[in-house]
Structure 1
Amino acid sequence: MLAKVHDFLLERASGAGDEISIEVHPPRAALPACPRPDISLPRAADRPVGRVSVGIRCGNDNRTRYLQAEVHITGHYVELARDVRAGDIIRPEDLTEVTGRLDRLPRQALLDPDRATGQQATRHLAAGVTLQRHHLRARPLVRRGQQVVIEARGSGFRVTRSAEALEPGGRNERIRVRLADREILEARVVGEGRTSVDF
């Protein structure tokens, strides 16, 4: 059983880093024989890292038993190479890739520098900080009060009008815009000064 859980975790963690080490802790009570266990993670979408619980069900037994395991992953992640201020746009030269234990990082740590480049810092960040998703936001392509083009698309038609942005927004963010007749719509930011509404 422990070997099956080990192989399950190894498969789920595959590709998460350069080196993967897994230790499955034996249960306090003996588990029943189960040649083909149904093994799962409580949060199925998660890639296992750090200390994890693994659920095991066997045959027609509806009970789920849990084993504890440690998944240690060594790989690359992103740190800041210099201080950045709130509002700064992150450039490639602001970043450095570091090799280390990914299982010791915060859950929101960024592993890929491309996920940070072009984003805007939400606050002052010091050199050496491990970048996390909440440290960054999409670079604003629309400013509050700016005149923007709003494009409406539907089946067989495309119309563009001018509108006033009532709030700032980055790519794919939804913002409120006000048309000349004072009607307010929610539109999606698609580019510099451009928004879109689908019908």
Structure 2
Amino acid sequence: MTDASTRRPTPRSRRLPGACLTLALLLLAPSSQADEALMTAVHAFLHEQARSQGEEVVIEVRPPSAHLPACEAPQPFLTHASRPVLGRVSVGVRCGAEGRQVRYLQAEVGVVGDYPVAARDIAPGTTITSELLERRRGDLSRLPSQAVLDPAAVLGQVARRSLPAGAPLQAHQFQARALVERGQKVAVEARGQSFRVTREGEALEAGGEGERVRVRFDNRELVTATVIGEARLAVDL
């Protein structure tokens, strides 16, 4: 992986102010001052959205189509707000005082920052601790789509498969550590607004914290309860 911090700005590069160093690379020169204002607004918007993810943000925006009219008072927005602002991004822009005209620009966003990798080979079933992880630095947009960026997200979880040393971590490679085992005697709390009753039952499947597990009581009654601790589950009434 090439560290984006070694890149040199092209003659068309522009630097945007902010806590992070930002390189805004234009793929094509804007055709007018109106296009220049539009692209500046999009650059600033993407910088604001992405700057918390790393120390350096590299933004490449494709200029608007030449046949479109000028966009007055541009108001950028993300077309997929739930997705991280990394890699290829579609940006919508409302134009005019009332924002009735909408156009879309394509951008490429790279963020140079730290991310966790396996410090050594990790075997399946291993509980993840901080000693098993180390930090690497690079362009976060080049990582897999489910890459883990915050090591705290996997601490205490269990590896589903072998993880080679130095490999980026992905969310689907981990699962919550089982606090309840299949066939184990468990305590099930039934909770209401002003009472709490505990019954003993048998777990019919394993589960980690927050997962829902079926439990059978001595009278053959079946309930589905949420794991809240070691051999402890809860149902809300």
| Aligned Cα root-mean-square deviation (Å) | 1.5
Separation in 1, partners of 2:76, 2:178: 44
Separation in 1, partners of 2:139, 2:79: 23
Size of the alignment, in residue pairs? 199
Separation in 2, partners of 1:89, 1:82: 14
Residue in structure 2 matching 1:190, options 228, 232, 236: 228
How far off is 1:58 after superposition? 2.0
Q: Percent identity at matched positions? A: 52
How far off is 1:47 after superposition? 2.7
Q: Unaligned stretches of 5+ in structure 2?
A: 1-37
Q: Name the SS for the 1:103 alignment partner.
A: helix
Letter in structure 1 aligned against 2:93: I
Residue in structure 2 matching 1:81, options 110, 119, 122: 119
- The residue that corresponds to 1:148 in the other structure is 186
The structure with more radius of gyration: 2
How far off is 1:28 after superposition? 3.0
- The residue that corresponds to 2:148 in the other structure is 110
Separation in 1, partners of 2:73, 2:217: 62
CA contact (8 A) 2:190 2:197 kept: yes
Residue in structure 1 matching 2:57, options 20, 32, 41: 20
How far off is 1:63 after superposition? 5.3
- The residue that corresponds to 2:110 in the other structure is 72
- The residue that corresponds to 1:130 in the other structure is 168
CA contact (8 A) 2:75 2:99 kept: no
Q: Unaligned stretches of 5+ in structure 1?
A: none
Kindly report structure 1 stretches of 4+ aligned residues shifted beyond 6 Å. none
Question: Is the deviation greater in 59-68 or in 83-92?
Answer: 59-68
Residue in structure 2 matching 1:158, options 178, 196, 212: 196
How far off is 1:31 after superposition? 3.8
Letter in structure 1 aligned against 2:160: T
Q: TM-score normalised to the size of structure 1?
A: 0.94
How far off is 1:61 after superposition? 6.7
Letter in structure 2 aligned against 1:71: V
Separation in 2, partners of 1:61, 1:150: 55
Letter in structure 2 aligned against 1:36: A
Q: Name the SS for the 2:53 alignment partner.
A: coil
- The residue that corresponds to 1:47 in the other structure is 84
- The residue that corresponds to 1:32 in the other structure is 69
